[in-house]
Chain A
């Protein structure tokens, strides 16, 4: 139920619904998209970026908030801990307990390696758990990995590393098969055919889903498998600094118990960074759809030992974050809502864009509608546009919403909004870190040996914008890949003496660049206590 202030606009939306359902809005031309992005997408807002002065990406721009934690002090000094008497001694150390970390650990275990997961919250507290819409794979007759490649390459502004992208699309069907064999329940017809839909920017219907709990279903299954294999999971323990050996290869990490603040040392022949994204950095003051721990830790850990970043200046703002009610401000409203037929409608009840443009284009279009065009809906605490969910029931028949997007229905029903009968208000929310650490197709960073990366902490797989459903895919494909290759490298590795001397070297660089800061990193968690409420 919406209050009085929304009624006039709601009436316009309802009056135009039949006509809007029938409408097939035109897609934008390449030129129109370019102009729109340049004028309205947050990535193009130059005031919000800083040029890095130290480290392998010196001279390149990144979001101001990221620059601050990349060019910060370590939480420890170079003489911390007894590196020669580690608390944990393993072949493969996986940092992060999300979908990428769990997949990596399972494959490393399968390959016979002694593998351990360390995570600052619990295993499964990750963006994977919150991915709603689905996972892409070109497994239908009218589709192919090559078509998938073209969709993703174009959607990412032709910037993806092609050798990574080809791996993503070619390994996709097998990834789905692997998940199925683990017991993930994909939506299927009675004959086993996958029920698939479009996502923004796809040219074939290749979005596989498990209702709108796709990521949760995948994550809880992977977690169960990790536990079945009795892979050690050290939870509420953050990696706060990587350890190298005297040869400059990755050799473990210094860990911190999040509750007692005790420091521990983990020695490992290979290390996999699977720390996820950065939504909780709240770049440019945006709300976020991300989980509590998304603070770009892996980028900081990697950067301090000299690993290169790729496209760290590109973030994804999901076009449809909840704009109302304010208790769920910024929460994800899955793209699947649009896949199922709901259109974006402005304050006057007008459809102002094709609902399945790529995410960056859709986000910029909504920002334009709410700013210069003045066609946004005033929510009382900001602006938004309507996402006309009742269209779904009209198009797919009564009951479609409950069957296909039950989590969305539940989320809004808690605030007395029945999305089967009433539209919802949305505005872009910080959703995904397109960039990250630069890797080769084996999952290893391009310039630090035995340091692997998987999942959202990787840069380059998607270029400068990611399509819906390619992230759940990437954590599985590149998670498994990193696990297998890290296990293999561990077998071929003899560690030299462990050292933290890179901390001193980085300090010297900071000093030389004239950077004076009190910030320590990684950030680990945001601070939302009274003084810092967002």
Chain B
């Protein structure tokens, strides 16, 4: 027997089984979702949701696909939030603090209220990664923000109007492209392929009879 709880979807009351996620509860109530539903697995950030438990002062944020319903939960989804995404050319950008000042100057208006961190659906230390971005420490900003799903809840709570996920996106791309160590074996292999080092080997496989391919596959050496 299912235990039922009362939830309030955009203020309207529905009775739903208590083992459902918020997303499944909405569907159970009859919503055919178009917005606010993407991967249903906690990776895409489409289903940012804010809620308050009746009688509780604190406003909480979560991903609807990752959070179980509770009794007397007042739920509002946030399927879109107008983040500011600056346009830039990765080839022309320089990995310096000046880039942040130029593209996202509002990060320096952070008042340290920590509302971003408190609201993060991934439990990231958002204010900390913004602090790293302010200092131009892109590597640390990238590391601290890595699990961000860009749902935008942090930005919805920010009195300084910062678009945290976009700041972090820029930091990660700068780190990945300019700061992380270059991979020697990768560059070498790309060159070898261009030079035709493997052309003959591959061509030999293109016309080999299936029986010989099976032989090759079934007896291949497997790295430990």
Report which A residues bind B (CB closer than 8 A): 29-30, 121-122, 124-125, 129-130, 137-142, 144-147, 149-151, 153-154, 158, 162-163, 166, 169-170, 173-174, 176-177, 180-186, 188-194, 198, 203-205, 211, 213, 215-217, 220-221, 224-225, 227-228, 230, 236, 258-259, 289, 291-292, 326-328, 331-332, 406-407, 410-411, 414, 525, 527-530, 533
Residue contact A533 to B169, C-beta cutoff 8 Å: no
Residue contact A144 to B201, C-beta cutoff 8 Å: yes
A185 is contacted by which of B34, B67, B180, B198 (Cβ under 8 Å)? B180
Residue contact B40 to A228, C-beta cutoff 8 Å: no
Chain A min CB distance to B152 (Å): 12
Residue contact A149 to B202, C-beta cutoff 8 Å: yes
Q: Which residue of B lies closest to A331 (CB)?
A: B41
Residue contact B220 to A228, C-beta cutoff 8 Å: no
- B58-83 near A? 1/0 per residue, CB < 8 Å: 00000000111000000000000000
- Is B160 interfacial (CB 8 A cutoff)? no
A129 is contacted by which of B34, B43, B89, B177 (Cβ under 8 Å)? B43
Residue contact B90 to A154, C-beta cutoff 8 Å: no
Residue contact B169 to A228, C-beta cutoff 8 Å: no
- Is B181 interfacial (CB 8 A cutoff)? yes
- Docked Cα-Cα span, A408 to B24, in Å, equals 21
Enumerate chain B residues within 8 angstroms of A173, measured Cβ to Cβ.
186, 189-190, 193
Known: A228-B90, A407-B43. A144 touches B198 (CB 8 A): yes
- Docked Cα-Cα span, A402 to B223, in Å, equals 26
Q: Which residue of A lies closest to B31 (CB)?
A: A529
Enumerate chain A residues within 8 angstroms of B128, measured Cβ to Cβ.
none
- Docked Cα-Cα span, A184 to B90, in Å, equals 12
- Is B19 interfacial (CB 8 A cutoff)? yes
Contact residues on B (Cβ < 8 Å of other chain), bracket:
35 or more
- Docked Cα-Cα span, A192 to B68, in Å, equals 42
- B197-224 near A? 1/0 per residue, CB < 8 Å: 0100110111000100110111011110
Known: A182-B177, A192-B181. A216 touches B172 (CB 8 A): no
Known: A124-B44, A129-B39. A180 touches B177 (CB 8 A): yes
A183 is contacted by which of B40, B43, B173 (Cβ under 8 Å)? B173
Residue contact A224 to B169, C-beta cutoff 8 Å: yes
Enumerate chain A residues within 8 angstroms of B106, measured Cβ to Cβ.
none
Enumerate chain A residues within 8 angstroms of B28, measured Cβ to Cβ.
529-530, 533
Enumerate chain A residues within 8 angstroms of B147, measured Cβ to Cβ.
213, 406-407, 410
Chain B min CB distance to A458 (Å): 19
The 9 A-B pairs of least Cβ separation, nearest first, read A183-B173, A154-B217, A192-B181, A183-B176, A125-B38, A183-B177, A146-B201, A185-B176, A139-B189
Residue contact B32 to A529, C-beta cutoff 8 Å: yes
Residue contact B205 to A150, C-beta cutoff 8 Å: yes
Residue contact A291 to B39, C-beta cutoff 8 Å: yes
Known: A185-B142, A230-B87. A153 touches B213 (CB 8 A): yes
List 15 additional contacts besides A193-B184, A211-B146; criterion CB under 8 Å: A124-B38, A139-B189, A141-B185, A146-B201, A146-B202, A150-B217, A154-B216, A170-B202, A183-B172, A192-B184, A215-B43, A221-B173, A228-B89, A414-B66, A528-B33
Enumerate chain A residues within 8 angstroms of B68, measured Cβ to Cβ.
327
Chain B min CB distance to A453 (Å): 22
- Is B182 interfacial (CB 8 A cutoff)? yes
- Docked Cα-Cα span, A203 to B204, in Å, equals 19
Q: Which residue of A lies closest to B181 (CB)?
A: A192
Residue contact A289 to B41, C-beta cutoff 8 Å: yes
Residue contact B190 to A177, C-beta cutoff 8 Å: yes
Residue contact A292 to B38, C-beta cutoff 8 Å: yes
- Docked Cα-Cα span, A163 to B103, in Å, equals 45
A194 is contacted by which of B39, B42, B185, B210 (Cβ under 8 Å)? B185
